[in-house]
Each structure stands twice: as structure tokens, then as C-alpha cells.
Amino acid sequence: MTNRFVVIDIETTGNSSKKGDRIIQIAAIIVENEQIVDQYTTFVNPCTSIPVFIEELTGINDEMVKDAPLFEEIADDLLKILEGSIFVAHNVLFDLSFLQEEFKRIGRSEFVGLTIDTVELSRVLFPSSDSFKLFDLTESFSIHHERPHQADSDAFVTAKLLLHCINFAKELPLITLEQLSLLAVGLKSDIEVLFEAILHRKKKHIENLPEHLEVYRGIALRKKKKKHIERNYRERYEYPISPNEKEKLLSQTIKHFEVRDGQFEMMDIVYESLRLKKTALIEAGTGVGKSLAYLLPSLYQSVQENKPILISTYTVQLQEQLLQNEIKKLENMLPFAFKTVLLKGRQHYINLFMFEQSLHDEDTQYDEILSKMQILVWLLNTETGDIDEINLSSGGKLFWNRIKQGGWHLKDKDPWVSRDFYLNARKEAENADLVITNHAMMLIDFKQESSLFRTFDYVIIDEAHHFEKCARHFFGKKLEYIPCKYLCSKLGAFEKKQAFFQLEKLIDSNKITPKTPAFELDFSIIELERSIDELFLGIADRWMFERNKQGTQAKTQIRLVNKWMDESKWQPVKYCAEKIIATINEINSSINGRLTSLKRISEKLNEKEKAFVEEIYNIMNEFHELQKTIQMLLIQQSNDHVYWIEGDVKAIPNSITVQSQSISVKNQLGTAFFSKKKSTILTSATLTVNNSFSFFENELGLNHLEHLVKKQIPSPFHYKEMTKLIIPNDVPEILHVSSKEYAESISSHLIAIAQATKGRMLVLFTANEMLRQTHNFMKESGLLEDFVLIAQGITAGSRTRLIKNFQRFEKAILFGTNSFWEGVDIPGEDLSCLVIVRLPFSPPDEPYIWAKSKALTAEGKNPFTAYSLPEAVIRFKQGFGRLIRRDTDKGIVIVFDRRIDTTKYGKAFLQSIPKIPVKHASLKEIIEIVEKWF
């Protein structure tokens, strides 16, 4: 391999040279013998104007390139630089193909040689990175990036990233490098050449494996650290009762610790509730520090009673925050050692036996190869074996379905049992003081016969406002077209040469004669796949029929009502559902007969065959679940559930799903869950409506419990000085005009306000269509050319990616719906203005809301005051909480929906947030207030 790399980055007027886009800047960094030795940079005259967006992104304008050379004038220099080198770029396909087109356009020969894509290389070597964008990677490795989106700076940091990757790869164990080198042949760039060169050098020296690693069955992985604490012989430590004791304890390890009376108060409530076996509802405002307020007393209680405590959260982010921040602080702070374990569902953990056997496959599928390489590197670092640690591609997630932990049928034959991550996590949890899990896992485990969590007497539920909704989903079902088709493809008809074909080969090689001949089973598998297509096409027809009647938009939900069941149009769907269940029974019977025969001769099977048998068992378990789902959704419906069909007219039948949810979970939760616990603490920043817990109590079935403690702990922030709320008085009433008219009206206000705040604005919507209309009006106005508009569902990227981009640009406006109403943390000056476009009432025709309203009416209650209003208030409180995240934050909240002021129920929204000044103003007055405020 050559020791010479040329790292290229180009800036262009657009994405396609074939469509006339041109290069405006190019940089080449020459790397030899792992050193940056030279650099070539120039602007390029594109002979066309630079689009505004490109100018905003790169900072390069027409003036800067007008006297620059044409591409024709620098082409020979570039080819000379590239000669005999490996071409490197971050997303090499874009840079190289663009250059090749330009060389072709001017009649020069194209570059011929090896390429390395640092995106692909980073995916392999740093599989746990949140993002593989250049800015994010360099930031995480502390590589200074002076001017992102300018070619010279981008090329320089890409070169630094390449060197970082090479140095990292040199430290990998020999066995891992050998495996990566073999697999890398299937990648898109020539990374195998890099691995082979490192491998060649590494083989010249004797390898000393680091102490924390081991090689087992040809795979290098991290040794498991066992943290064993003998509870029975631990000293009894007394909980710090007085504020002085608490302050002394916390200030020892927390820098710049500030006493928060609310935090100390919450600690005492949690401790007393656990000690006296009570259930407590605690609403803790932003800034109270509730995580530490429940963790510290929990640990004292756990130590004093020698009983573990279960902590359940809704989001992965909070789980990670607890482990990385609060738990680490407590480890340094408390006078005793304790053990914390994070436990998730079985499917989150890798089955090492399955993975080991998959390494022997002859792969041709790119995502599978890349995923295997990522996992080989990840195993050197992971202590948990939890897939959430890896940033897999969508294709990689399909591969994960093959190698995830699904239980055992030949457990004693699995050579990896001693190192199994899931078994290890469960074992560790049994000897832990704190076990952290999530709401879904806790509910799933609670329902199982061999429940680990059922033995926990003490439970703390954080983000508790989500618990009822999570339970509703848990007690419901979901049927989707794509997963059904994927499951069928895993088994596959005989000619597809998937699992069924391999099973028949195994049966034949062991001279087993099954009761059901292969051709009959093959016919059943083909028939099943055909029936699933018919089922979803039938459901789609009904969905389209009802949708057209309503004249609704492309994506919509249609309630699945009981009267349909007897209609002639629905009979083919019901017939198909029954046929699928019968066909799965036939397939199950035939395959189980084969598996039973193989189990009898399991000692004759080699390891690859044993792993394959486990895979077949897991596939059949999935078919059993599919059977139950179809039965519950389409054949035996319950009056306690609401059922609906979702779809998108642009993607039929792929987008079609059938879902159900439990209308009420208060009986299941109240009697079967909460009443079985000695003590449960439920906490969140949003549990009350108009200073009352009654809505929350009723929805979770808590109002019949004895010894119920309820406490609101206000935020320590001085909201009166930090924020004010403005209600515009010159926008139309939202219910008096069309959606388009309303969007047009608020757009003119938002443009003016954005100019006054210089961006830094989060605009919250309740509907995607309103967001899209408002975004388009503002963009097309031409008045915000120097602003970056970032919109959920329009701008590409995840929520995290959109927020990071919003924080990156000085003048930015972020538009969000649904998930942006909570969990968004943008402290400081990055967010100075929060706009709530509409009070967050759920649409009354949404299937669950409709069913809930009907049930409440049957009970003699008013659905609006009993459910719709309190639900909207809690969501409003979550949205309001996005603005002030730290005691140094300052900003303005603008609510465009005048119902907050003009209706009687509007007071419930205002009375449920901290007391702050409320101002009614015209647009002109708002601008004056904003300019004065900032």
C-alpha cells in the first residue's frame, strides 16, 4: 500500500455537476508516512452565481470567486497531486464523482486509483458515535474545526480524522484486525488496503493483549467486570435528616453546589414514603434536581433494608444521564459502596453464539458486512452488550434481528452462555441496590411468569406523566405490513434458499423423514405470504374507501368500528385473517416436528447447525406472536380496546398498520401493579392540572390507594424576572378561519418577531400540515434570507440532529411538532423565544380520543373537562418548560392561540404554569417589548 494519501474536499453550487452545478472551492491535503506534508487550496470561478443557501452554508460569495481560476486552469495540477495516491474524502462518492464529471467535462482523463471514505471508516472504528457527520466526529475527538463547510478547513480536519482512525486501528487486537480485513473487501471504499497494511506491520511484533480484553472462540471482547457487594454485612448508615447534613454531603463532591430547598424537601418525602411504605406523587418543577432528590434517599433505604430499588424512566436519554451523571456523583459522595445495573428487554442484547456463526457466512449484503465490522469493534468496549450503544444503519437493524438474544432451546449447547450479556445483566440485577429500566420493559416483565421485577417492593417511576400512555400501548397490539413480509422472507419458500431451505438441507443430511413432506410445507409458506398480501390489500381498500368518504389528507387514521365486521366488504379481510392463523398453525406443526427430531440428535450437530436451530425457534416464536396479534386485532376484538387503521396514500400497502390500545388501564395498573408494591414514587415536572393531581390519579388508578402522599415542589427559578408571556391580540381566532388563513396570518408575525430576536426561536405546532404551511409562507416571503429555517418533517434529520443544527447557526428558527413539546433541552442564548401556535388539544376524531370520550360519556362525565382539557394542559406545561432550563436563562413565550385568554377553560393553562407577567399586544407592541427585553 502506498504511504501517500490525498484528502480532498470541495464546495459546490449544488449536488449535481450533470445538472450544471460547479465547484467553487477545492482543497487537497497531502498525507505521507502519517504526517500532513503539504496543502493545496483555491477558490474556483463557477461562471454562475452562488445560490443564497450555499452562501449561508459556506460563507463563500460571488465576490470571492469572481477573479478565481476556472476549473480548466487547475485540472492538471489536481491530477498531478492525485497521481499515485489514495483518494480520501468524507463521503468520497460525492467528492470523487463530482471531480470525475468535471474532468470529463473539460476532456481530461479521470482519476484512477484507490479510495477511502472516512465516513465508512469512522462507522467501522467508532460504531457508538451519535453521528458520522464531519463536524460531529471532529468535535467528539477534539479536532479543531475552524470554518465548517469551507473546503480548506474541511479537508484539513478530514486529514486529522484519517490519522486519528489509523492510530486507533493500530491499537486493535490482531484477531480483530484480521476479521475486519477479511470483511472489508465487501465495503464501498478500499478500506481493506489500510487494514492489511496495519496488519502486516502488527504481525512483525508479539502482541500483548490489554488486561481488560480476552479472546474467546476467536473473538476479542471486553472482560466482564463484576462488582459484588455483600448486602448482609454492610454497615447501617443513617439518612441525613437535617438540611446541614445534606448540604455537607452534597457539597463535598458537587462543584459550586447551591442549596435548593425544594430538592431537600423532595429527598425527605421520598425517604419517608419508602420507609413508611406509602405511594407518593411528586411534581418537581424545572431546576429542583429531582433525579438526585430520589436517588439519594433510595440508596439509603436500599442499604438499610437490604432491598433493591427499581428506577423506571421513559427515555434512554434519562437512563444515560442517571448513569453518567447522578450515579457517578453519588458514588463519590456516599459513605458506602453501592451497585447500579441498567436492565433492558432481552431483544436489546446480542446473542454471541449467533453472531459468531454469522461471521462464517459468505456475505454479499453491504449493510450486513458493515454491521459485523461495527460489532467486532464494539465488543472490545461494551460492558453491556446493549444494541442501543451502536449506531447501526437501517439495514444493520435487520441483521440485528438475526443475532439478538431471543432465549434458548438448546441452552446447554451454547458455548457462550458464560459470557451472555442478558444473563449477566439479570444476574447482576439480582444483586444490585438500584436497577434502572424503562417503563415498557417494566410492564413487559411484570406480565411474564418468571418476572424479575415483580419481586421489587420499591419502585420509583420518573417521567411518570408518560406511564399511562406507555401502559396503553403495552396492553394493545400493532400489525404492520413490512415486518410481516420480512418475517415471511426470513423463513422463505424453498426456492428462496432462506431458513426453510437450510432446515430441509439439515433434515436431509441427518436422514430424518418428517411427517409433513417438504413440498407441502413449501406450499404452506408460499400460501402464507400470498395471504398476507391479500390481507393488507383488503385492509388498504377499506382504509381508502373510508378515507375518501371523509376527504382527509394522505396520511390518516381510520377507526375500525364493530359494524364493519358484518359488512360484505370486510368479510374477505376476516377470511384472510382466519386463513393466515390456520396456515401458521400448519407451518408451526410441520417445523416443530422437524425441530423435535433435531433436538433428539443435538449432540451430532455442529455449532453452526445448533445456532441455526436456535434461529428457527426464534422465527417460529415471532410467527406465534403474529398469530396472536391478528387474532386480537381482526377476529376477537374487545370492548375495552379501540382499534384503527393507519396509512399513507402514497405508500399502499407498505404504510398500512392496524393498531389497538386499551381505553383505560387504571384497573390493570391500580390493582395488579401499584397495590402489589410496598412503596411507589411517581415523579415528573408535569403531573398536575390547575394545581390538582386528580386527573393523573384517576388515569393510573391511584385514587383508591391508601397512604397516598401528594406534593408539588415549585421550580426555584425566578420566572417573573426570567420570562414573560405575550398573547397577540391582532391575530384571528383559530377556530374562525381556515388552517391556511391562520398560517398566513401568524407567518407575518413570526417573520417580524424573528427579526427582532435574531432567530433563536422554537415554534411549536400541533399539526404537521400547519407547520408545513407556516414554514412555506415564511420561506417564500423572501424576508428571512439570512435566517436558517429548520423544520421537523421538512429538514432532513432526527430530532437531535435538527436541534444541533439550530444551535449551530446564529440566526435560526426551529419548527417542531409532537416530540418537540418535551425532552428538548436548549439552554442559554441559543433559545430566547418560544412560540406556541395552538393550544395542544388532541383532535377529537383521533381514534383513542374518540373512544375515551365515548367511555367517559357512558360514565356520565364530560369528556372535555374530564380528559381533553387536562391532557392538553399537561402537554402545554411540557411545551412551556422548553424555554427556561437553567437559572441563567431568559426569554419570551408567545401564545398565538387566543383561546387561552378568551375562553373560561383558558385559565386552566395559565394557572398551571409559574406565575409570570402576561401581556396582550399587537405586533407593533410585541416588537417593542422584544427589543426592550433583549
* Residue 759 assigned as binding residue: no
Query: Under 8 Å CB-to-CB from 156, ≥6 apart: which residues?
Result: 27, 29, 36, 39
* Residue 287 assigned as binding residue: yes
CA-to-CA distance for 527 and 530, rounded, in angstroms? 5
From 522, 527, 517, select the one nearest 593 (Cα to Cα): 517
- Show the cell assigned to 183: 470483511
- Show the cell assigned to 361: 457466512
* Residue 723 assigned as binding residue: no
CA-to-CA distance for 457 and 221, rounded, in angstroms? 36
* Residue 593 assigned as binding residue: no
* Residue 290 assigned as binding residue: yes
522-526 contacts: CB < 8 A, separation 24 or more?
522/493, 522/494, 524/583, 524/586, 524/587, 524/590, 525/488, 525/491, 525/492, 525/493, 525/494, 525/500, 525/587, 526/493
CA-to-CA distance for 857 and 860, rounded, in angstroms? 5
CA-to-CA distance for 693 and 829, rounded, in angstroms? 34
- Cell 367511555 sits at which residue? 855
From 155, 195, 128, 604, select the one nearest 382 (Cα to Cα): 128
* Residue 284 assigned as binding residue: yes
CA-to-CA distance for 21 and 12, rounded, in angstroms? 7
Cβ atoms 7, 29 nearer than 8 A: yes
Amino acid at 48: T
Distances (CA, A) of 529 to 322, 488, 570, 638, 659: 45, 6, 20, 27, 21
* Residue 288 assigned as binding residue: yes
Amino acid at 852: K
Half-sphere exposure of 164 (CA within 13 A, CB side): 19
From 565, 556, 500, select the one nearest 528 (Cα to Cα): 500
- Show the cell assigned to 806: 439550530
Cβ atoms 734, 765 nearer than 8 A: no
Query: Under 8 Å CB-to-CB from 580, ≥6 apart: which residues?
Result: 528, 531, 532, 535, 627, 630
Cβ atoms 441, 343 nearer than 8 A: yes
DSSP string of 248-287, one letter each residue = HHHHTTSTT----HHHHHHHHHHHHHHHTT-EEEEEE-TT
- End-to-end alpha-carbon separation of the chain, Å? 59
∠ Cα 286 292 296 (to 5°): 150
- Cell 398566513 sits at which residue? 744
- Cell 428462496 sits at which residue? 496
Cβ atoms 508, 498 nearer than 8 A: no
Which DSSP helix (H) or strand (E) runs through 310?
Answer: strand 309-313
Amino acid at 642: V
DSSP tag of 111: P
Distances (CA, A) of 437 to 35, 674, 678, 826: 47, 17, 19, 26
- Cell 454485612 sits at which residue? 233
| 325-343: burial string, b at 16+ Cβ within 10 Å, e else | ebbebbeebbeeebbbbbb
Q: Taking the CB of residue 301, how many other CB atoms lie within 10 A of it? A: 21
Query: Under 8 Å CB-to-CB from 508, ≥6 apart: which residues?
Result: none
* Residue 642 assigned as binding residue: no
From 161, 437, 215, select the one nearest 319 (Cα to Cα): 437
Beta strand residue intervals within 55-181, DSSP E? 86-89, 115-117
CA-to-CA distance for 18 and 617, rounded, in angstroms? 51
Q: Could you list the residues known to form a binding site for ATP, using ranges.
A: 284-291
As annotated, the binding site includes 284-291
